[in-house]
Amino acid sequence: MAEVTLTVCTTCRRIAGGEPVADEPRPGARLYEALTQADLPDNVQLKPVECLSACSRGCSIALTGGPARWTYVYGDMDPDTQVDEILTGLRAYAQTSDGIVPWRERPQAFRKQSIARIPPQE
């Protein structure tokens, strides 16, 4: 099964009142750091990126997995409370061949904080 990549924007800041909050550590970087400590499935790699162009929805992450899987982009992630949910959703995604996890099996963060999904390229 193709490699899965969890891409995390490490530049992302928390959004409050529609504006990025500048006077605190970047939650995107903290989220990435927390995920590096996690036990990831063998076919998953974690990758930091400088910008996913979803800055109004930070922290943002993307799940990709080769030409046969749908790509998903999620935003408004909270590094303090949602790491476990991200890992649950990531593990479920990594077990699929097409990237589609049944709705009921998706963690709430993935159900409610979707930014976009992109069809498989093959």
Q: How far is the CB of 58 from a second copy (least distance, A)?
A: 11
Contact segment (CB under 8 A) with a second copy among 21-29, 61-69, 78-86, 92-100 equals 61-69
- Classified as helix, coil or strand, 44 is strand
Gap between the terminal Cα atoms of the chain:
15
Q: How far is the CB of 76 from a second copy (least distance, A)?
A: 13
Is residue 98 within the footprint of a second copy (CB under 8 A)?
no
Is residue 109 within the footprint of a second copy (CB under 8 A)?
no
Q: Which of 25, 51, 108, 112 binds a second copy (CB under 8 A)?
A: 51
Q: How far is the CB of 43 from a second copy (least distance, A)?
A: 13
Contact segment (CB under 8 A) with a second copy among 20-28, 57-65, 86-94, 99-107 equals 57-65
Contacts of 92 (CB under 8 A, 6+ apart): 101, 105, 106
CB 77 within 8 A of CB 31: yes
H runs (alpha helix) in the chain: 27-36, 83-94, 108-112
In which residue are the tokens 């605190």 written?
24
Residues that bind a second copy (CB under 8 A): 5, 7, 47, 49, 51-54, 60, 62, 64, 66-67, 71-73, 114-119, 121
